[in-house]
Amino acid sequence: MQRWVGHADLDAFYASVEQRDCPEYRDRPVVVGAQPGHRGVVAAANYRARTFGIHSAMPIAEAYRRCPNAVYLRPDMDKYARVSREIFQILETITPVVEPVSVDEAYLDLTGLEKLIGPPEVIGSEIKRRILEATGLTVSVGIGPNRLIAKLGSEHRKPDGLMVVFPDQVLAFLAPMPVANLRGLGRQTQKIFAGLGIRTVAQLRALPPGYLEEHLGSRAAVSFHNQALGIASAEVVYGRGRKSISKETTFEADVREHDILQDTLHKLAAEVAARARREQLSGAVVTLKIRFTGFETHTRQRKLPAPTHDERVILREAWALFNQGNLPRKPVRLIGVGISDWQQTETEPMQADLFDQPQKREIDDRLLETIDKVAGRFGKGMLQLGCKKEARGRDSS
């Protein structure tokens, strides 16, 4: 049986949701991210904004310089998460095997659906129709014999595109593509390819693997040679889902004061913990992200003895990483916290501390449930758990 993998990618997701909800934005450039005049970056830009060269991760000051008349909006992550859940429910009406990659894209195992729905072109059209009718949003869909071709197919005709690549079309489909479209191509590898005069996949494919190995090493050479031939995995893993939950903030002015940094981490930890509880996840790894003056960025991680979705634990570990992580003693521009290494809270309850009392755990669970209910009714930040201030532990000078 022919394997078929689909890749569904919502078009400019955050910005498209805002345009859907506010019709007055539909014919204007829309940028979601930090506000002009503040520090931060672009989270998403619609296609009209992209004609000005605006793209995600661009500093918001640069985006504003390029298009001061755009609509600039702060992200509403809770709204995007609700829409995302609706979209994934729609995808599961097409196939039960859906592998989320992020809030706005997923891989789908479409093998064997020809008898139920029709050929790949019909399946792709049906995915697009159901999402548009239910949410008012457009999606680009790529379908091919493996994950690589499906992903490249969805990118090929954005926005609102549909691309089906049959097995006997794979080599011709890939040949004219720039090598930059391949997966895992970092800046250093791009420089190497440029130095070798390799610009297209066809040029890459024509090189002997041994020649590539001399310049890239054996592992990278095999990976890029296989991609050039369209060889990739066709496995789609049901419910693999997000790899982490994180939140970060960029300060208006660089911060030295530890009280401000710890209070900010507390708020971020509370948001991360609340989202984890909503998704019934507990994380066993806490990550601290910190950016200093001059965009020098560091991350530190710590493995927990037991998974958590408690903001107090996340804050405690993140603050310990800040104090004990051998970080530079510089003013802080950005700080963030995240959790990963999931354990489902419904089926795999958190391991109890050896000396923890069952009554205390029950009280803690009720407290967390109350906080979530208050946030759901009155908005996040209305109620937070108090956290003990830790000793400074490191010189902030």
| Confidence tier at 250 by pLDDT (50, 70, 90) | confident
The mean pLDDT value for 185-193 works out to 84
Q: pTM, whole model, 2 decimals?
A: 0.68
Query: Pick the catalytic residue: 18, 105, 271, 317?
Result: 105
Q: Report whether pLDDT(279) > 90.
A: no
| Residue 264: CB atoms within 10 Å | 19
Same domain, 255 and 373: yes
Q: Report whether pLDDT(9) > 60.
A: yes
> Pick from 77, 111, 129: which residue ends a domain?
77
Note whether 16 and 136 are within 8 A (CB).
Answer: no
pLDDT of residue 290: 94
Q: Is residue 358 part of a domain?
A: yes
Same domain, 253 and 341: yes
pLDDT of residue 136: 97
Q: Is residue 1 part of a domain?
A: no
Same domain, 200 and 303: no
Q: Is residue 239 part of a domain?
A: no
Residue % of the chain over a pLDDT of 70: 85
pLDDT of residue 354: 35
The mean pLDDT value for 99-118 works out to 92
Same domain, 278 and 370: yes
Same domain, 183 and 270: no
pLDDT of residue 355: 36
Same domain, 207 and 258: no
pLDDT of residue 238: 79
Q: Is residue 256 part of a domain?
A: yes
Same domain, 288 and 192: no
In our burial notation (b when 16+ CB lie closer than 10 A, e otherwise), range 286-296 reads: bbbbbbbeeee
Per DSSP, what are the bridge partners of residue 342?
Answer: 283
Q: Is residue 307 part of a domain?
A: yes
Residue 310 is part of a domain; what is its CATH number? 3.30.1490.100
How many structural domains compose the chain?
Answer: 3
The mean pLDDT value for 289-301 works out to 90
pLDDT of residue 317: 95
Residue 105 bears catalytic tag: yes
| Confidence tier at 270 by pLDDT (50, 70, 90) | very high
Q: Report whether pLDDT(125) > 60.
A: yes
Q: Is residue 156 part of a domain?
A: no
pLDDT of residue 372: 56
pLDDT of residue 23: 92
| Confidence tier at 28 by pLDDT (50, 70, 90) | very high
Q: Is residue 392 part of a domain?
A: no
Same domain, 332 and 374: yes
Domain hosting 206: range is: 175-228
Same domain, 248 and 184: no
Note whether 49 and 67 are within 8 A (CB).
Answer: yes
Cα distance between residue 15 and residue 374, in whole Å: 28
Beta strands 98-102 and 105-109 are antiparallel
Residue position matching structure tokens 């005069």:
197
pLDDT of residue 211: 87
Cα distance between residue 386 and residue 315, in whole Å: 11
Residue 70 is part of a domain; what is its CATH number? 3.40.1170.60
Same domain, 350 and 311: yes
Q: Is residue 203 part of a domain?
A: yes
> Pick from 53, 77, 101: which residue ends a domain?
77
Q: Which residues, at least 6 apart from 147, have a Cβ–Cβ distance to it below 8 Å?
A: 5, 7, 107, 232, 233, 234, 235, 236
In our burial notation (b when 16+ CB lie closer than 10 A, e otherwise), range 307-338 reads: bbbbbbbbbbbbbbbbeebebeebebbbbbbb
Note whether 302 and 322 are within 8 A (CB).
Answer: no
Same domain, 292 and 373: yes
Cα distance between residue 56 and residue 47, in whole Å: 12
Same domain, 208 and 251: no
Q: What is the pLDDT of residues 340-397, one digit of tens each?
A: 987 644 433 333 333 344 444 444 555 566 555 555 555 555 445 555 555 444 544 4
The mean pLDDT value for 280-302 works out to 90
pLDDT of residue 345: 47
Q: Which residues, at least 6 apart from 131, have a Cβ–Cβ distance to it below 8 Å?
A: 8, 10, 87, 90, 91, 137, 138, 139
pLDDT of residue 61: 94
Better-predicted residue by pLDDT, 261 or 354? 261
Q: Report whether pLDDT(156) > 70.
A: yes
Tokens representing residue 240 in the block = 């693999």
Least confidently predicted of 112-116, 165-169, 172-176? 112-116
pLDDT of residue 356: 42
Residue 198 is part of a domain; what is its CATH number? 1.10.150.20
CA dihedral defined by 210, 214, 216, 218, rounded to 10 degrees? 50
Dmax over CA atoms of the chain, in Å, equals 68
Tokens representing residue 324 in the block = 């004990």
Q: What is the pLDDT of residues 46-65, one digit of tens each?
A: 999 999 999 988 999 999 99
Per DSSP, what are the bridge partners of residue 383?
Answer: none
* 230: helix, strand or coil: coil
Cα distance between residue 167 and residue 176, in whole Å: 17
